[in-house]
Structure 1
């Protein structure tokens, strides 16, 4: 099972995607603690989550941990899968309401100048790029310059 999880190819360019995705998640996780009102507990509360304090800290720690794992290429597929789930939830909770111009359930639509598909597309550009980067890493693994590759005996 572990061998299948860390298996990767010899691609030397995968590190570019790992650096991009890993550094963004690491940075965003750290900022949930540095700026709790804007990006941590306060933001989760504004979005309508119950227990925003716990969730903001949980997501922040998870983003930091997965970001670091992606940067070094350790358990790349597992970290990428966790961040795919993270980004899917973020898109559903924060971007889909923009497309329909209304809150749903306990999730609150934030105030923007415009709503609809194109506004949603603009607001989710980073989320979408991180989702695709995570999907790439989930499929490919850590690549040539990764701890996974060193441990998989290629």
Structure 2
């Protein structure tokens, strides 16, 4: 199997908008897991029931920083978004599914909200869903016209 098709991207100019949004948000979120570990990293992970919160917080933060920068540069874009997709699916499962169900499960805690159910879950999920869909878009499209990928692999 040839790997080049996984790196090749079409010269789509609009991809830069999604790449910038996804890259900068993940980069900033990852940095915060190191700067404010009690709020965004290990402390948060422990409060929602993520196993090995110290390790998980730094692992997720590191992946968000590195992959966010790769996405911003448009370098190995399709590979860079795979961990980001996994992070967002995990975030939705561990923090938003309890809101839908109105109860914690499998050790994942339920946040204290005024309302639970579908509408509350959708409201609380808006950023996670946007990052998930943006990452899936980049996995499908690649880095686009203004990316390192197009210069290295599309010739």
- The TM tier, using the shorter chain, reads over 0.9
Shift of 1:48: 0.7
Q: Matched residues in 2 for 1:17 and 1:153: separation?
A: 20
Q: Does 1:18 align with 2:22?
A: no
Shift of 1:108: 0.8
Q: Does 1:119 align with 2:120?
A: yes
Q: Does 1:78 align with 2:79?
A: yes
Shift of 1:65: 0.5
Shift of 1:38: 1.0
Find the residue that maps to 2:43 and give its secondary structure: helix
Find the residue that maps to 1:32 and give its secondary structure: helix
Match of 1:61 in 2: 62
Match of 1:141 in 2: 142
Shift of 1:82: 1.6
* TM-score, normalization by structure 1: 0.97
Q: Structure 2: any 5+ residue segments left out of the alignment? A: none
Q: Please list the CA deviations of residues 42-76 of structure 1 after superposition, one character each: whole Å capped at 9, or x if unmatched.
A: 00000112210000000000000000000000010
Match of 1:34 in 2: 35
Match of 2:95 in 1: 94
Q: Structure 1: any 5+ residue segments left out of the alignment? A: none
Match of 1:128 in 2: 129
Q: Matched residues in 2 for 1:86 and 1:49: separation?
A: 12
Q: Considering only aligned residues, what root-mean-square deviation do their CA atoms show, in Å?
A: 0.9
Q: Does 1:5 align with 2:25?
A: no
Shift of 1:2: 3.7
| Dislocated runs of 4+, deviation >4 Å | none
- Residues matched between the structures, number: 154
Q: Matched residues in 2 for 1:140 and 1:59: separation?
A: 24
